[in-house]
């Protein structure tokens, strides 16, 4: 009963139940759906643990140090860093690339693993995506502040200004602006779309009025009906499809900052794949760094984020670590094979020059450390992998430092050779960025479900009929202000008392699919099912066609592409042609990155806005939102609602019909 897999939507073929039972368990402990919800919501709805306050206090102090350093920098100038003539970039861009790299794992886990049908991702994707967002926030700090006078950063935007000049779309740095901001936006959208059903669950489960309003606002009135799920899943799939090349493009574009230059040590075609592998490598290491302590602190998560999850992450780290090690070797090979003395010197100098110490830290952390993951013992010991992941993070920071600083400090002209040493401002700003990261992460842990509730339910197996809801009153009994069931739906009642519809609860997704098919076959049109997660095969059962969201996304992508082409050609070749670097005015090759980014950005917005619009959201009031049994369907109930507006609706006959097809707790929904 898999839910969110591409095959469902592309082929519409239901998986056989036999396969379900043979699938390895992704969630341990034999929890019920409701228990899953409880485990995750306990963190948000329960009282705040003491350690959280301590950790938050420390993190926000460190973060405020980062802010103080930035203010100092803005007031004084980038001279407060250790930069010099020659090494014009050092820790600023090192930190930027480091954080962007870390920001890769989240969306990678979400998108690529989603497309590759790696269901183990569901336990960790939420936290990883949050990590992505916060890492991108940290990454965004550095290119912003590295110019010192950050109030001029707006000049990067393609907006009319007093110089009548446009930004230079040939600059890899501008591609960066588009790539990173697109990545941040799309990651945020992706994360938010994934959150909507969980926000609805919180809205429906919490007893705090403030939380009901707050989470309810962001849930946009999500009801979990299959007509919504259908569009939702299409949007999510397309977002995943868009994010996957986007993830690859971001670090490719970041690597262009170096690869498109002429500086030996930077000028290298190996950079894009090497940077992407490195980014995945460091991102997964950071996931380990965050999840191992989180698992220890929230013991209830250990059934959801199992050692098997961690082991899988370790395998990815091992694989990408080997790729990175291979890239290090190839760089040397090409430097030798290319017979360019400048290139050759830079690499020999990396390994033997003044920064050899940094190079060997990088190699030992990034190449040797992950090799330990060949041992299953190490792959399954959380705290051991936590330590190793920390080494990987250190190593990946040094990788960026080595690429940037050792290449710059030995220029083509020996006359401008120099040496870089960081200042205390460099160090405190970098340390402070960790404060920003952890502050945001702690807020996330406290206020947002750390595990994707709906998705986890979709991949777990719950024995039908054993749902423990004995502690709850039967749904029929708690219909707010409901008169006796028999009185409802009397045809003679005045129009204003006409019920909105009738609801029936079914035992599980399979029953619900059967029921839906029967309801459709009985001639009902205005009916829908409410489920905690998208139920496989339901679209067919309900006789629904394909979602329209796909067309909207296609339209968005085309508009984005056209905007990018038009903007760049107009700015660079028509409105204000400028000679830069001897390139033709309309140097189309340079337009490609921005075209791609804007296409993805527009398509992603189209997916989210399209999904919301097609689903008729936001709709913060709906009759089904006040009925207990439909409210519980965002948690663990599988309900079917037939609207009274359906021509075939009849208060008595419909009730009988629902009872006949296996519906329980049949009740009338007030309008």
Partner 1 sequence: MKNWPGKPDGLPMPEPTLRRKALWRSMDDLAQSPEFMQWASAEFPALASELDDSYKSDGPSRRRFLQLMGASMALAGLSMGAGCRRTETRLLPAKFKTAEQVPGRAMYFASSFVLAGKVTGILAETNEGRPTKIEGNPAHPASMGATDVYAQASLLDLYDPDRSRFVLNQGQLATKIALLGMLDQLSAELKKSGGKGLAILSADYASPAIDMLREHLAKVLPQARFAIFEPSWFGQTPPASRHYDLSQYKTILSLDCDFLGHDDEGIFYKRAFGRGRAVENNKGKMNRLYAVEPGFSLTGTVADHRLRLPASKMVEFAGKLLGELQGKASGDAWISELASDLKAGGVVLAGARHPQAAPIVAQINKILGAKPVGRQNGSSDAPQALALGELLGQPASVVVLLGGNPVYDAPADLKVANWLKQAGNVIQLSSHVNETTEFCRWHFPAAHALESWGDARAFDGTLSPMQPMIDPLFGGLTALEVLARIGSYDTKDGYEIVRRSFKRLAGAADSDQAFRKYLHEGVFQPAGDAGGKADPNGSAAPSAPNAEPTKKVSDDRPLGKTNLELAFGLDPSVYDGRFANNGWLQELPDPISKLTWDNAAVLSPKTARELGVQSGDILSVAAEGASAEIVAFILPGVVDYSIQLAIGYGRSKAGAIGDGVGTNVNPLRTSKTLGHVVGATITKTGRKGKLATTRDHWTIADHHVIDEQLKERGIVRQGTLEEFEKQPDFVAHQGVHSPDIGNIHPNPLDEYKKDDRFHQWGMTIDLNACLGCNACTIACQSENNIPIVGKDEVINGREMHWLRMDRYFEGADPEGEVTAVTQPMMCQHCENAPCEPVCPVNATVHDEEGLNAMVYNRCIGTRYCANNCPYKVRRFNFFDYNKGTIRESGKITRDESTAPDPLHGLSTPQSFQPPLQELLKMAMNPDVTVRMRGVMEKCTYCVQRIQRAKIDQNIKAGQSIPEKVPDGTIQTACQQVCPTQAIVFGNLKDEQSRVSQMKTSPRSYDVLSNLNTRPRTSYLARIRNVNPKMPGGEMIETKSEAHTRLSLPILGEVRI
CB of 77 to partner 1, least distance (A): 4
> Least distance from C-beta 567 to partner 1, angstroms?
15
519/296 Cα distance (integer angstroms): 47
**Which CB sits closer to partner 1, 150 or 559?**
150
In this complex, which beta carbon is closest to partner 1, that of residue 492 or of residue 579?
A: 579
Tell me if 606 sits within 8 A of 561, measured CB to CB: no
Contact pick of 340, 371, 380, 498 for partner 1 (by CB under 8 A) = 340
Least distance to partner 1, CB of residue 196, Å: 36
Q: Quick one: 96 or 191, whose CB is closer to partner 1?
A: 96
- Rounded Cα distance between 246 and 248, Å, is 5
As measured in angstroms, the least distance from the Cβ of 539 to partner 1 is 47
CA angle, 45 as apex, 40 and 46 as ends, to 5°? 95
Considering the complex, state which of residue 178 and residue 373 has its C-beta at the smaller distance from partner 1: 178
Min dist CB 338 to partner 1, Å, is: 12
Kindly state whether residue 85 participates in binding partner 1, applying the rule CB under 8 A. Answer: yes
Task: Cite the beta strand spans of 221-280 per DSSP E.
Answer: none
Tell the smallest beta-carbon distance from residue 143 to partner 1 (Å): 8
**339: alpha, beta or left? (left if phi > 0; alpha if psi -120 to 50):** left
CB 284 within 8 A of CB 313: yes
Site size for partner 1 (CB under 8 A) = 62
Cβ-Cβ contacts under 8 Å for 108 (sequence gap 6 or more): 247, 280, 283
71 is a site residue for partner 1 (CB under 8 A): no
**What's the rounded Cα separation, in Å, for the pair 504 and 657?**
10
> How many CA atoms within 13 Å lie on the side-chain side of 486?
0
**Is the CB of 349 or the CB of 439 nearer to partner 1?**
349
Q: Which of 6, 60, 65, 86 binds partner 1 (CB under 8 A)?
A: 86
Q: Look at the block and give the residue holding tokens 């961690």.
A: 310
Distance in Å, CB of 71 to partner 1, minimum: 15
Q: Which stretch binds partner 1 (CB under 8 A): 61-69, 337-345, 390-398, 482-490?
A: 337-345
CA distance 217 to 223: 13
Q: Distance between CA 55 and CA 36 in Å, rounded?
A: 26
CA dihedral sign of residues 177, 182, 183, 184: positive
Interface pattern 242-261 for partner 1 (x via CB under 8 A): ---------------x--xx
Q: How far is the CB of 262 from partner 1 (least distance, A)?
A: 5
Is the peptide bond preceding residue 618 cis, with omega within 30 degrees of 0?
Answer: yes
Is there binding between residue 561 and partner 1 (CB under 8 A)? Answer: no
Spatial distance between the Cα atoms of 233 and 648, rounded to a whole number of angstroms: 30
Min dist CB 87 to partner 1, Å, is: 8
Calpha distance 16→2 (Å, rounded) = 10
> Chain-centre distance of CA 144, in angstroms?
23
Residue 527: beta bridge partners?
A: 642
The DSSP secondary-structure symbol of 272 reads H
Closer by beta carbon to partner 1, 128 or else 405: 405
CB neighbours (10 Å) of residue 380? 14
**In this chain, which of 25, 76, 118, 466 binds partner 1, going by CB under 8 A?**
76
Three-state SS at 465: coil
The minimum distance between CB 427 and partner 1, in angstroms, equals 16
How many Cβ atoms from other residues are within 10 Å of residue 574's Cβ? Answer: 11
C-alpha angle 360-78-268 in degrees, rounded to nearest 5: 40
Check: CB of residue 291 under 8 Å from CB of residue 124: yes
The position carrying tokens 């028999």 is 486
Between 160 and 491, whose beta carbon lies closer to partner 1?
160
Tell which positions 567-596 bind partner 1, by CB under 8 A. Answer: 577-585, 587, 590
Helix (H) or strand (E) segment spanning residue 641: strand 638-643
Task: Give residues 117-176 in contact with partner 1 (rule: CB under 8 A).
Answer: 146-149, 152-153, 155-156, 163, 165-168, 170-174
Least distance in angstroms from the C-beta of 415 to partner 1: 4
Q: Token pair for residue 54?
A: 């301590």
Q: Which of residues 379-438 bind partner 1 (CB under 8 A)?
A: 408, 411-419
Of positions 12, 57, 79, 543, contacts partner 1 by CB under 8 A: 79
Residue with Cβ nearer partner 1 (178 or 657): 178
Which residues inside 615-634 make contact with partner 1, applying CB under 8 A?
none
**Which CB sits closer to partner 1, 206 or 587?**
587
Judged by beta carbon, residue 90 or residue 542, the one nearer partner 1 is 90
Q: Is the Cβ–Cβ distance between 169 and 591 less than 8 Å?
A: yes
The nearer residue to partner 1, 94 or 320, going by C-beta atoms, is: 94
Nearer to partner 1, 73 or 220 (CB): 73
Output phi, psi for 667, to 5 deg.
-145, 165
| Contacting range for partner 1; rule: CB under 8 A; set: 72-80, 224-232, 324-332, 637-645 | 72-80
Minimum CB separation from partner 1 for residue 349, in Å? Answer: 8
Smaller CB separation from partner 1, 73 or 451: 73
Residues near partner 1, by CB under 8 A? 76-79, 82-89, 146-149, 152-153, 155-156, 163, 165-168, 170-174, 177, 257, 260-263, 340-342, 345, 354, 408, 411-419, 577-585, 587, 590
């Amino acid at each position: 009963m898999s839910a969110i897999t591409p095959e469902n939507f592309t082929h519409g073929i239901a998986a056989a139940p036999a396969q379900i039972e043979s699938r390895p368990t992704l969630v341990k402990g034999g929890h019920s759906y409701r228990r899953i919800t409880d485990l995750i919501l306990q963190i948000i709805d329960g009282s705040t643990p003491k350690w959280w306050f301590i950790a938050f206090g420390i993190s926000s102090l460190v973060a405020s140090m980062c802010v103080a350093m930035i203010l100092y920098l803005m007031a004084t100038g980038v001279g407060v860093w250790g930069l010099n003539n020659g090494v014009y970039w050092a820790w600023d861009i090192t930190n930027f690339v480091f954080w962007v790299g870390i920001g890769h794992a989240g969306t990678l886990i979400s998108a690529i693993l989603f497309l590759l049908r790696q269901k183990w991702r569901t336990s960790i994707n939420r936290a990883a995506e949050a990590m992505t967002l916060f890492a991108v926030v940290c990454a965004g700090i550095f290119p912003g502040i590295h110019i010192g006078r950050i109030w001029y950063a707006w000049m990067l935007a393609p907006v009319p200004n007093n110089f009548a000049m446009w930004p230079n779309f040939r600059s890899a740095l501008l591609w960066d602006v588009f790539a990173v901001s697109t990545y941040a936006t799309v990651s945020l959208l992706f994360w938010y779309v994934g959150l909507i059903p969980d926000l609805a669950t919180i809205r429906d489960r919490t007893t705090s009025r403030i939380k009901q309003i707050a989470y309810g606002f962001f849930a946009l009135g999500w009801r979990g009906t299959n007509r919504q799920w259908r569009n939702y899943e299409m949007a999510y799939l397309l977002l995943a499809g868009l994010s996957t090349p986007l993830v690859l493009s971001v670090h490719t574009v970041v690597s262009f900052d170096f690869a498109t230059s002429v500086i030996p040590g930077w000028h290298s075609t190996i950079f894009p794949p090497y940077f992407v592998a490195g980014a995945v490598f460091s991102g997964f290491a950071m996931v380990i760094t965050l999840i191992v302590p989180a698992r220890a602190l929230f013991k209830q998560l250990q059934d959801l984020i199992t050692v098997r999850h961690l082991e899988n992450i370790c395998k990815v780290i091992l694989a990408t670590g080997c790729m990175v090690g291979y890239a290090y070797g190839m760089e040397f090979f090409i430097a030798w094979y290319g017979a360019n003395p400048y290139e050759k010197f830079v690499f020999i100098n990396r390994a033997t020059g003044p920064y050899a110490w940094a190079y060997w830290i990088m190699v030992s952390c990034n190449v040797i450390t992950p090799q330990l993951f060949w041992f299953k013992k190490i792959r399954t010991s959380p705290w051991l992998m936590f330590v190793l992941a920390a080494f990987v993070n250190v190593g990946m920071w040094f990788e960026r430092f080595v690429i940037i600083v050792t290449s710059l400090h030995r220029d083509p002209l020996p006359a401008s050779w120099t040496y870089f040493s960081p200042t205390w401002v460099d160090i405190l700003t970098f340390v402070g960025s960790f404060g920003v990261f952890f502050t945001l992460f702690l807020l996330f842990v406290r206020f947002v479900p750390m595990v994707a509730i709906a998705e986890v339910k979709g991949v777990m197996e719950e024995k039908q009929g054993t749902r423990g809801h004995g502690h709850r009153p039967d749904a029929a009994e708690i219909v707010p202000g409901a008169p006796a069931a028999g009185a409802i739906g009397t045809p003679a009642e005045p129009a204003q008392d006409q019920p909105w519809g009738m609801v029936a609860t079914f035992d599980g997704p399979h029953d619900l699919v059967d029921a839906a098919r029967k309801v459709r076959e009985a001639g009902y049109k205005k009916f829908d099912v409410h489920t905690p997660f998208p139920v496989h095969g339901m679209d067919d059962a309900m006789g629904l066609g394909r979602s329209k969201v796909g067309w909207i996304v296609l339209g968005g992508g085309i508009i984005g592409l056209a905007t990018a082409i038009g903007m760049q050609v107009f700015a660079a070749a028509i409105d204000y042609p400028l000679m830069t670097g001897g390139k033709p005015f309309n140097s189309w090759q340079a337009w490609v990155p921005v075209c791609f980014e804007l296409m993805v950005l527009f398509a992603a917005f189209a997916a989210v806005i399209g999904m919301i619009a097609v689903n008729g959201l936001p709709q913060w009031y709906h009759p089904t939102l006040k009925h207990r049994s439909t409210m519980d369907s965002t948690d663990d109930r599988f309900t079917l609602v037939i609207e009274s507006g359906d021509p075939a609706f009849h208060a008595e006959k419909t009730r009988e019909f629902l009872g006949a097809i296996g519906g329980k707790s049949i009740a009338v929904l007030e309008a």
